[in-house]
Amino acid sequence: MSTPAILTVDDDPAVSRAVARDLRRHYGETYRVVRAASGAEALDALRELKLRGQQVALLLADYRMPQMNGIQFLESAMDLYPQARRVLLTAYADTDAAINAINLVDVDHYLLKPWNPPEERLYPVCDELLQAWQSTPAAAAAELRVVGHRWSAHSYKLRDFLARNLVPFRWYVADDPEGARLLEAAGVTADDVPLVVTTEGKTLVQPDTATLAGNIGLTTQPASDFYDVIVIGAGPAGLGSAVYAASEGLRTVLVERRATGGQAGQSSRIENYLGFPDGVSGAQLTDRARRQALKFGAELLSAREVTALETCGSARVVHFADGTRIAAHSVVLATGVSYRMLDVPGCADLTGRGVYYGSAATEAPGCKDQEVYIVGGANSAGQAAVYFSRYASRVHILIRGEDLRRSMSRYLIDQIEAIENIDVHPFTQVERGEGEEHLERLVLTDNRTGDQTAVDASYLFIFIGAEPGTDWLDGVIDRDPHGFVLTGPDLLAGGKRPAGWPLQRDPYHLESSVPGVFAAGDVRSDSVKRVASAVGEGAMAISLVHRYLEGQ
């Protein structure tokens, strides 16, 4: 925690130096003494301290100052640091004004100038006020701070990005007192949110994720323009590839558009992963794998969107959305899948404002004592239902089929059946979402009878389908009709190699229609959609990369 500050403001240089000197002599080891020559200068200093997340314990202001007197300053300072103790420095002739100030701006004490000797007139007063402040100190914000609106899609996107990248942050609603103080300190209004204040006090107004990543310590720029292997996607398959590639001495860069872990990273509890009998959260598993890859020397580029893949002789070139590119001898496609959009009226407009794709763990505390609706019957939906049941008054799982047995692991079904506030609704689908600023209602349809029911709902979490998001590979990589990457034997239709295949050998098991480009995990056609198999394929892809490089 940073050292709390004592701020003094006096337009008389001699008095200002004297009070700062006396305060530093007695409190310099435990407090930082800040000196200002005017009320405006002092307010600027307080705003900077506020943005840096530093505490202010005591304010001492001279009563007679031009432009802004001490009372006016203390009144404005209360908006930034309401818990700081306030002292007015006055001459004997201004005693009446000082007494009035105690009632006007809740001044804690007034001191007559001169205060000599300070051991009798200054320190006892400050000691008492600082002791009172220490008993109810303001919370120091040691982490990133985000100010936004509760039902803002942009605010949600930034919070979700930070949470999934395991970046600690504190969330403030713009209308709350502390949120309003941060906005005032940054010189912006509630219309300008989301506002991000970094741990260094830098303010970012409505940043995109790439800008945010570059300002919070995430690496966004590659250290080189050429590698042995580029791994695209930092889910379980991509992390597995990065760990094995880097540990075996390959120059490795791992590129991720959103956050490490992919869909698995959003899982609140994975209980069927080998080696974790008590289960492990997706965030924990992701963090361990990420640190392992970095330990072996892999680079991790965050918030970088890949838009194209190009073959240039023996090099494989990856293009980014900002127009830059990097190249390598080989590429591993591990981009995974994303949840399919729920194509019903109202939901698209309310995405990020009550309608969410994936578990959106950042929203869990806001679900306290609310009813939560989950669409989907696979493991990810079941894990989310168990997680949200700790917060919500009731969790409703909506499935189109008869029950969960065909799509969900038995251990999860048993857990759901044992939790009293989870209800499973078979043969039920969402017909539409309704609401103005945020989701307020859902219309549900019984797909057997066609009967519709309207229910009040502020939270809908969607876990349906799997879309590989491989359109950027059009014309370069062969894919199946659903967009999944074809590899190995699946490319040998009728016993023939893919069109344009330049080598005399058949594609390796995980190799795509372009030599040296491999696919691992959920993005690969007919892969097993499990975390363990994705990690295994990621590791296997690197063994094939070695074989490919040796044959070059």
Angle at 371 between CA 157 and CA 150, to 5 degrees: 30
- CATH architecture of the domain 226-338+467-551 equals 3-Layer(bba) Sandwich (3.50)
CATH class of this structure's domain 355-462: alpha beta
More confident: 228 or 528: 228
* Pair of tokens at residue 60: 């001492």
pLDDT of residue 141: 43
From the CA atom positions of the chain, what is the Rg in Å? 30
User: SS3 of 348, please?
Assistant: coil
* Pair of tokens at residue 273: 């992963």
Pairing verdict, β 195-197 and 306-312: unpaired
- Over residues 11-22, the mean pLDDT reads 91
- Over residues 182-197, the mean pLDDT reads 93
- Over residues 314-322, the mean pLDDT reads 96
Measured distance CA(426)–CA(428) in Å, rounded: 5
- Choice among 81-95, 207-221, 289-303 with the minimum mean pLDDT: 81-95
What is the phi/psi pair of residue 425, to 5°? Answer: -110, 100
> Which one of 3.30.2130.10, 3.30.2350.10, 3.40.1280.10, 3.40.30.10 gives the CATH number of domain 144-215?
3.40.30.10
CATH class of this structure's domain 5-135: alpha beta
Top-ranked range on mean pLDDT: pick from 105-109, 112-116, 226-230, 467-471: 226-230
- Over residues 283-293, the mean pLDDT reads 88
Torsion angle defined by CA atoms of residues 412, 240, 498 and 547, in that order, rounded to the nearest 10 degrees: -140
More confident: 268 or 7: 7
User: SS3 of 319, please?
Assistant: strand
Query: Which residue stretches of 373-488 are H helix?
Result: 379-388, 410-418
- DSSP-assigned states of every residue in 478-536: -B-TTSPBP-GGGG-GGG-PPTT--SSSPPPTTB-SSTTEEE-GGGBTT---SHHHHHH
User: SS3 of 374, please?
Assistant: strand
More confident: 81 or 315: 315
pLDDT of residue 98: 66
**For 340-399, what is each residue's pLDDT tens digit?**
899 999 999 999 999 998 877 778 888 888 999 999 999 989 999 999 999 999 999 999
What percent of the chain stands above pLDDT 90?
64
Among 352, 339, 288, 321, residue whose Cα is nearest residue 159: 352
Residues 6+ apart with CB under 8 A from 73: 9, 39, 42, 43, 61, 65
**For 236-275, what is each residue's pLDDT tens digit?**
999 999 999 999 999 999 999 988 888 777 777 788 888 8
**For 73-99, what is each residue's pLDDT tens digit?**
988 888 888 888 998 888 766 677 667
* Pair of tokens at residue 377: 């019957």
Measured distance CA(110)–CA(60) in Å, rounded: 9
- CA torsion sign for 352, 356, 357, 359 is positive
Measured distance CA(159)–CA(181) in Å, rounded: 20
pLDDT of residue 105: 64
- Choice among 106-110, 180-184, 407-411 with the minimum mean pLDDT: 106-110
Question: Is residue 313 over pLDDT 50?
Answer: yes
Residues 6+ apart with CB under 8 A from 528: none
Measured distance CA(302)–CA(218) in Å, rounded: 6
- CA torsion sign for 537, 540, 544, 545 is positive
Are the C-beta atoms of 164 and 266 separated by less than 8 Å?
Answer: yes
Positions of CATH 3.40.30.10 in the chain = 144-215
C-alpha distances in Å from residue 16, one per residue of 37, 86, 117, 551: 7, 16, 16, 77
pLDDT of residue 362: 73
- Choice among 103-107, 170-174, 193-197, 521-525 with the minimum mean pLDDT: 103-107
* Pair of tokens at residue 228: 């042995």
Angle at 268 between CA 267 and CA 269, to 5 degrees: 90
Tell which phi-psi region holds residue 384, choosing left (phi > 0), alpha (psi between -120 and 50) or beta: alpha
Mean pLDDT (the chain, rounded): 90
pLDDT of residue 139: 44
More confident: 317 or 77: 317
- Over residues 404-412, the mean pLDDT reads 91
Among 545, 148, 143, residue whose Cα is nearest residue 330: 545
Among 360, 548, 550, residue whose Cα is nearest residue 462: 360
What is the phi/psi pair of residue 268, to 5°? Answer: -70, -30
**For 57-68, what is each residue's pLDDT tens digit?**
999 999 888 888
Question: Is residue 277 over pLDDT 50?
Answer: yes
pLDDT of residue 140: 46
Among 70, 67, 118, residue whose Cα is nearest residue 91: 70
- Choice among 44-53, 95-104, 199-208 with the minimum mean pLDDT: 95-104
Are the C-beta atoms of 118 and 126 separated by less than 8 Å?
Answer: no
Residues 6+ apart with CB under 8 A from 93: none
Band of the pLDDT at 219, cuts 50, 70, 90?
Answer: very high
pTM for this entry: 0.76
Helical packing angle, 236-247 and 531-551, nearest 10°: 40
Scored b (16 or more CB within 10 A) or e, 168-207 reads ebbbbbbeeebbbbbbbbbebeeeebbbbbbbebebbeeb
**For 329-338, what is each residue's pLDDT tens digit?**
999 999 999 8
pLDDT of residue 239: 97
The DSSP symbol for 3 reads P
pLDDT of residue 514: 96
- Over residues 126-148, the mean pLDDT reads 76
Positions of CATH 3.50.50.60 in the chain = 226-338+467-551, 355-462
- DSSP-assigned states of every residue in 208-274: -HHHHHHHTT---S-S-SEEEEEEE--SHHHHHHHHHHHHTT--EEEE-SS-TTTTGGG-S-B-SST
Are the C-beta atoms of 264 and 285 separated by less than 8 Å?
Answer: yes
